[in-house]
Structure 1
Amino acid sequence: MTTLNLGILAHVDAGKTSLTERLLYAAGVIDEVGSVDAGSTQTDSLALERQRGITIKAAVVSFPIDDVTVNLIDTPGHPDFIAEVERVLSVLDGAVLVVSAVEGVQAQTRVLMRALKRLEIPTLIFVNKIDRRGADPDRVLANIAERLTPAVVPMGDLAGASRIVEQLAERNDQFLRAYVDGARLGDDVIRRELAAQTRRALVHPVFAGSAITGAGTPELTRGIASLLPARTGDVDGPVSGTVFKVERGSAGEKVAYVRLFSGTVHTRERLPFGDGHEGKVTGINVFAQGSVPQRSEVSAGEIGKLTGLAEIQIGDAVGLPASNAPRQQFSPPTLETVVVPRERSEKGRLHTALAQLAEQDPLINLRQDDVRNELYLSLYGEVQKEVIEATLASEYGVAVEFRETTTICVERPSGCGAAVDFMGDDDNPYRATVGLRVAPLPVGSGVRFGLEVELGSLPYSFIRATEETVRKTLAQGLHGWQVTDIEVLMTHSGFTPPPPYGFSKWSSTAGDFRHLTPLVLMDALAEAGVRVYEPTHRFFLEIPGDALGPIQPLLGRLGAVPLSQDLRGAVAVVEGLIPAAQVDSLQRQLPELTHGEGVLESSFDHYDPVRGALPSRPRTDHNPLDRRQYLRVVKRVMRQGLEG
């Protein structure tokens, strides 16, 4: 039997969880269709999801369509939980993008479609809620073609035979010649060509229906089976898979959701994963036929839940890394907050709870400020903060409060800089020589570390210690923000080797390099100089035409830059760029200025240089910018460690 790993994606409230329920019901996996409002759906199993009526965590459920096993992954629609969608994209064979027939294409719909197109994931589009008041499938179809992709092929009631053939002919010269020459193109020929182009993500068939009533879902089901690429996989090949979700079991053990691309994993076998880790698989459950039975193995194409791998993390490769592992498709969180327990005695429990939540969502980027004894979290939005607060209270019994949410900036080097500390210098108390040169890289490059010293001139453990420390130190640049798009080259090195007869207290250790590297790196960065960049959103604003006058001064005050302005009858549409920190202010003032009729869509676009006074973030490390303080604090910490 072949397997299709299928993602269901949508803007919040478009009806994707209801569509999941309808597909499960049609396949005979459930006896009745669950309700999001009633909290009775299969995939929204968390208490918070049932209470709020939104999907927070990606969930997997399996059902058959003829001889194809479909592993359906229901993903969150709210933009605050886009990280869950990010992780799912790497394991999909195909996707269904759900669009409301009432609201049409929305902000998150466009973000999702851009990612699906970049990854060339075969995608069907389902126009849902055609039974609702205000539904207009034909208008939404035109909306999809205009704002998502022109490569749409209407199916079912939306279809016209000539429109289907014309779309296919645009992307296949042989098919085009046959069409132009008047050759008779039978239904079988058209269906085969449609399937071929859909599986190559060249076109996107559009279906219409209602998940609530079931209208149009049989046609969608047939489309899933016939148009999307089910896989068989090489079960005897080398093991290769990806971890896209981690949760805790009833006994507190880690459970890793793994999609296998190749090979077979058995219980009790030792499995390599991540960056040099290895563990013994103690249990396997495989999604199949609406349940997750315990099995002795999981094979290529399947999704399994593996236990026993204590060090495993989201994003880890299992076995051999996948050759087509995608880059990050969505923006990182752009907001940050401090979380504190309401009871001071709960600090330890709070840290443990947040560490476990960070296992499930690494992008919350738990940071501990050892100077002020505070915990920082990165966020996508206020809803995510509310969910974290409720989760800590309900699942961990810890009541918390949040400080004011602030915007996360980044730093990039302005030029090149270099520094070196030689072993034996008066202000270098470590048995190490470290020289570093920094230089800017193109936007999106991240951090690159390289060597200009001979590879054999320094023990590998010291090189690794230096690189790890460079990456850790760059989490806080000259102004306290993450430094990115930077190249760091090691230009000088030196150490004291151990004597022939064994270890000596005068020998160099990896610790010497870890302690010295931050000082050298900050000196090099200071010579290079940095610029601070703030996140900028692209916005789409739809307002009554008579509200355009009052809105324009507001956009100016908020630092927004309109890129286009269009009057469409009585409606004005403005698109442009706005600092992320000002989006909430625009959203709050919009109702009063537009008589409650304004609609704002926004999503991260890029980082822009900060104008005026540069914002800074309090440091949470030992502050290598102040050499005297740094050396004093590190010495004290080392002494406490020895005494402990």
Structure 2
Amino acid sequence: MSSGDIRSEVKKRRTFAIISHPDAGKTTLTEKLLLFAGAIQIAGSVKARKASRHASSDWMEIEKQRGISVASSVMQMEYRDCVINLLDTPGHQDFSEDTYRVLTAVDAALMVIDAANGVEPQTIRLLQVCRARNTPIITFVNKLDREVQEPLDVLSEIESHLGMEVVPFSWPIGMARRFGGVFNLRANHMRVFKPGQERHGQDEIIPGLDNPVIAERFGEPFEKAQEEIELLNAAAPEFDLEMFLAGQQTPVFFGSAINNFGVQEVLDALVDLAPSPGPRAALQREVQPDEPKFSGVVFKVQANMDPAHRDRVAFVRVSSGHFKRGMKLKVSRTGKEIRPNNVVSFLSQRRELLDDAFAGDIIGVPNHGILQLGDVLTEGENLQFTGLPFFAPELFQSIEVKDPLRTKQLRTGLTQLGEEGAIQVFRPHMAGGMMLLGAVGQLQFEVVAHRLKTEYGVEARLSSSRFNLARWVTAKDPKDMKKFIETNAGNIAYDVVEAIAFLATSPAQLRVAQELNPGIEFHALREHGGHVFGDAV
């Protein structure tokens, strides 16, 4: 394929993640975007959601039981001659590590805000990650069919909490029972809201802000909205594409995802405004998306997506070139060559064999442990992409198997779950010590115990641990490291990639260890492969 053809395919790609605080309506909006793009025929209604407790993008058994998303899922769809790769992320803060890694694989983010609650803590944390990477953000203010905050107050919150300019592209007329619809500020027309609407493409459109028909039908709510729109026209900043692409300005849309309302404008904005894939920084050089040679990075590993086959899928973000099924690829970390013939694209659980892919696409490579988080696949060049961190865990529990005959299954399960990033697993340096699990949030322990039972047939017993924090350790002089391990043997453990960690019972114990061992550096972050980075802390 010529470089011109590759460039043309890359320009068609839009790869973005949906982020939000829990219960803001993120998974519902994901479903409705699929519906509007024609990827699914009917989205789950309120009744169906209550009955099944899960959406089309939630596949894990515990998600179905709890009605929450705890794993990231990937969906690809076509809309307006563009290929859209949509990554739905966990909203729950206990799974922020998984969300962070997903955000390294996208070119834009769609932020969902509950109009009743405004900007919430988890939203702020995720937005900080996006801002650090200068990721462009489109904002959707959801649930206008309920009693919510005044839209001007929501805009003010976004600006003050997130530190970025907001530019409304649409504006709500009324709320809750008096919610009449939204006015498209750029197209100068009103889209009329019909509650309970299950199908799209049938909305009533009324042109013109000064149209007497709108004033007559919607009365006081429209008069109020008209005044606010005039105020915005005078005071709000003009939309600046460069500022948006730099993550400094966000276009804002209003609607009600559960009612399929306001979704069309968001989908169009993703095509019109979100960037196509750009260059990706590697340690060796900057990789351009339209280069002829293929490269891609594993940003997620998921075990047992299909319990019947005990499979393990590496999610690869294509960084450059043209992927062809069966092509010979090299794993930069190990130098091994693979020829993936059963590579798949995703629509949630549904998979389809794919023949080719381009920069921005997310492909699934089934494998048996050959690929790990952060691995780079190329046609021969040694490349290492950075930016897939593991955070030092803040919670610890010891784990042992209830049935000693299932010890092997426990080790297998913990190794696979640790490698996919669902939990951090530590093997004590001292022989005979119990395995330790490290997590950012309590719910991670519950999910791992559930998955061990349902996916590996292991009943595990979790118990509290004396440790409260961890730091990965490095030393320039191997003698310093050997002495440190010998002196602190009871506090030393190894994670799934055999990176050495110091486990402490308190911040005071950590400070003492730092003072007594000037030749050791303590790190709160590590990258895939055991590389630690950032300032020593």
Q: Normalising by structure 1, what TM-score?
A: 0.59
Aligned residues: 431
CA–CA distance in 2 between the matches of 1:80 and 1:311?
Answer: 28
Report whether the alignment pairs 1:402 with 2:416: no
Instruction: Please tell me whether the aligned partners of residues 425 and 438 of structure 2 are also in contact (alpha carbons under 8 angstroms).
Output: yes
CA spacing shift, 1:534–1:14, aligned 2, 3 Å: same
Residue 476 of structure 1: which of 502, 518, 522 is its match? 502
Superposed displacement of residue 480, structure 1? 11
Secondary structure of the structure 1 residue equivalent to 2:502: coil
Instruction: Please tell me whether the aligned partners of residues 422 and 444 of structure 2 are also in contact (alpha carbons under 8 angstroms).
Output: no
Residue 351 of structure 1: which of 398, 411, 414 is its match? 411
Superposed displacement of residue 227, structure 1? 1.2
Report whether the alignment pairs 1:217 with 2:263: yes
Report whether the alignment pairs 1:257 with 2:318: no
Report whether the alignment pairs 1:131 with 2:161: no
Give the gaps of 5 or more residues in structure 2.
1-8, 173-184, 186-228, 279-287, 483-493, 526-533
Partner of 1:46: 60
Superposed displacement of residue 313, structure 1? 0.3
Farther-moved stretch of structure 1 (197-206 vs 289-298): 289-298
The correspondence of residues 571-586 of structure 1 with structure 2, limited to 5 A, is none
Report whether the alignment pairs 1:5 with 2:19: no
Secondary structure of the structure 1 residue equivalent to 2:336: strand
Superposed displacement of residue 235, structure 1? 5.3
Instruction: Please tell me whether the aligned partners of residues 393 and 469 of structure 2 are also in contact (alpha carbons under 8 angstroms).
Output: no
CA–CA distance in 2 between the matches of 1:293 and 1:140?
Answer: 41
Superposed displacement of residue 39, structure 1? 3.2
CA–CA distance in 2 between the matches of 1:168 and 1:368?
Answer: 56
Secondary structure of the structure 2 residue equivalent to 1:133: coil
Partner of 2:252: 206
Report whether the alignment pairs 1:314 with 2:365: no
Alpha-carbon displacement from aligned partner over 1:36-73 (angstroms, at most 9, x marks no partner): 43335211011211111111111011122201111110
Instruction: Please tell me whether the aligned partners of residues 254 and 310 of structure 1 are also in contact (alpha carbons under 8 angstroms).
Output: yes
Instruction: Please tell me whether the aligned partners of residues 3 and 230 of structure 1 are also in contact (alpha carbons under 8 angstroms).
Output: yes
Report whether the alignment pairs 1:243 with 2:257: no
Secondary structure of the structure 1 residue equivalent to 2:357: strand
Instruction: Please tell me whether the aligned partners of residues 369 and 375 of structure 1 are also in contact (alpha carbons under 8 angstroms).
Output: no
CA spacing shift, 1:132–1:86, aligned 2, 3 Å: same
Superposed displacement of residue 150, structure 1? 3.7
Partner of 2:221: none
Matched to 2:24, the amino acid is: A
Secondary structure of the structure 1 residue equivalent to 2:258: coil
Instruction: Please tell me whether the aligned partners of residues 93 and 229 of structure 1 are also in contact (alpha carbons under 8 angstroms).
Output: yes
Secondary structure of the structure 2 residue equivalent to 1:287: strand
Superposed displacement of residue 204, structure 1? 0.6
Matched to 2:452, the amino acid is: L
Report whether the alignment pairs 1:142 with 2:156: yes
Matched to 1:355, the amino acid is: T
CA–CA distance in 2 between the matches of 1:133 and 1:168?
Answer: 28
Partner of 2:354: 295
Instruction: Please tell me whether the aligned partners of residues 295 and 321 of structure 2 are also in contact (alpha carbons under 8 angstroms).
Output: yes
Partner of 1:153: 167
The correspondence of residues 181-196 of structure 1 with structure 2, limited to 5 A, is 194-196=240-242
Alpha-carbon displacement from aligned partner over 1:340-374 (angstroms, at most 9, x marks no partner): 22223322221111111112216513425652341
Q: Normalising by structure 2, what TM-score?
A: 0.70
Superposed displacement of residue 409, structure 1? 2.6
Superposed displacement of residue 407, structure 1? 5.3
Identity %: 26
Partner of 1:569: none
Partner of 2:131: 117
Residue 33 of structure 1: which of 35, 38, 43 is its match? 43
Instruction: Please tell me whether the aligned partners of residues 336 and 379 of structure 1 are also in contact (alpha carbons under 8 angstroms).
Output: yes
Partner of 2:71: 57
Superposed displacement of residue 484, structure 1? 10
Give the gaps of 5 or more residues in structure 1.
170-192, 420-433, 439-467, 486-521, 536-605, 610-644
CA spacing shift, 1:105–1:608, aligned 2, 3 Å: farther
Report whether the alignment pairs 1:339 with 2:399: yes
CA–CA distance in 1 between the matches of 2:266 and 2:233?
Answer: 16
Partner of 1:67: 81
Alpha-carbon displacement from aligned partner over 1:111-141 (angstroms, at most 9, x marks no partner): 0011101100111111111112345433222
CA spacing shift, 1:251–1:287, aligned 2, 3 Å: closer
Partner of 2:28: 18
CA spacing shift, 1:322–1:91, aligned 2, 3 Å: farther
CA spacing shift, 1:256–1:531, aligned 2, 3 Å: closer
Give the number of the structure whose alpha-carbon radius of gyration is greater.
Answer: 1
CA spacing shift, 1:294–1:224, aligned 2, 3 Å: same
Instruction: Please tell me whether the aligned partners of residues 164 and 250 of structure 2 are also in contact (alpha carbons under 8 angstroms).
Output: no
Residue 226 of structure 1: which of 272, 275, 286 is its match? 272
Superposed displacement of residue 333, structure 1? 2.2
Secondary structure of the structure 1 residue equivalent to 2:90: coil
Partner of 1:528: 518
CA–CA distance in 1 between the matches of 2:501 and 2:372?
Answer: 20
CA–CA distance in 2 between the matches of 1:531 and 1:147?
Answer: 34
Instruction: Please tell me whether the aligned partners of residues 334 and 407 of structure 1 are also in contact (alpha carbons under 8 angstroms).
Output: no
CA–CA distance in 1 between the matches of 2:64 and 2:434?
Answer: 32
The correspondence of residues 358-377 of structure 1 with structure 2, limited to 5 A, is 358-361=418-421, 364-368=424-428, 371-377=431-437
CA–CA distance in 2 between the matches of 1:350 and 1:435?
Answer: 34
Matched to 2:361, the amino acid is: E
CA–CA distance in 1 between the matches of 2:274 and 2:290?
Answer: 21
